[in-house]
Structures are given as structure tokens and as C-alpha cells.
Amino acid sequence: MIRGIRGATTASENTVQSVLSSAEELYKKMAADNQIVPEKVSSVLVTVTKDLDAAFPAKALRELTGWNHVPVMCMAEIDVPGALQKCIRVMMHVETDLNQNEVQHVYLKGASVLRPDLTNSRQESSPLTE
């Protein structure tokens, strides 16, 4: 079964290092939490908010061992007033035996407010959930 696995994180600043290290951390956590191997990934979609233009976060994924042949595309997130800034969002399409409720969606750093219902975080819900 192909399942969508969501993830999001925030970069501390709009620099190449911050964007790439934040994206790499997210990709690794998504893969580890869901036992993902590159060969089982159909594609990866990545969006960034308009305030992150220092680097393509897809570059961090392509540089991980075994991921260089996985199709990945970056695009701009819609600019909703009041939305979380410096945010990187990911949707991985993965072949997995996990049931829908077993998939571990990953929300790191400031992005943990986006879907508190899907994280282990005990933070309060935000009016900016997706």
C-alpha cells in the first residue's frame, strides 16, 4: 500500500545551513520512525514558506545515502496570513505495510504546533493548525 507520511519543521533562520540541517533532521526522523528505506519511496513533495529561499530543502534529501534516485520536488507553500513562518513541510509517498493509524507523522521544532493531535507533544493547540 502507498501511504502519505507527513512531516514539518522550522528553520531558525533563512540560511543555507539552517534550511539544509533542519530538512535533513526531518527526513531522517521520518525515515527512522516509519522504517522507510529509499527503495520504497515513490516521491517526496516539499514546500517552504516564502521567507525560506536560501536553499532547496530537497538537496538535503538527495545527499543522504541511497536517496539520490528518489523523485523530490520543492515548491512554495501558500502564503496564508498569520501562518507559521520559516516552515518546511514534507509529504513522502511510501510503500509500507503500516496501517493508516500506525504511520508516524513527524512535526519538529516550531512546527509541532501544526498538528498536536499527531505528535507526542503536549503543547496547546494552535489556531494555525493545518
Active site residues: 6, 62, 74, 77, 89, 107, 115
Q: What are phi and psi of 121, to 5 degrees?
A: -65, 145
Give the containing element (helix H, strand E) for 22.
helix 16-33
Cell 507526542 maps to which residue?
120
Type of residue numbered 35: Q
Q: What DSSP character marks residue 17?
A: H
Type of residue numbered 121: S
Scored b (16 or more CB within 10 A) or e, 54-72 reads ebbbbebbeeeeebeebeb
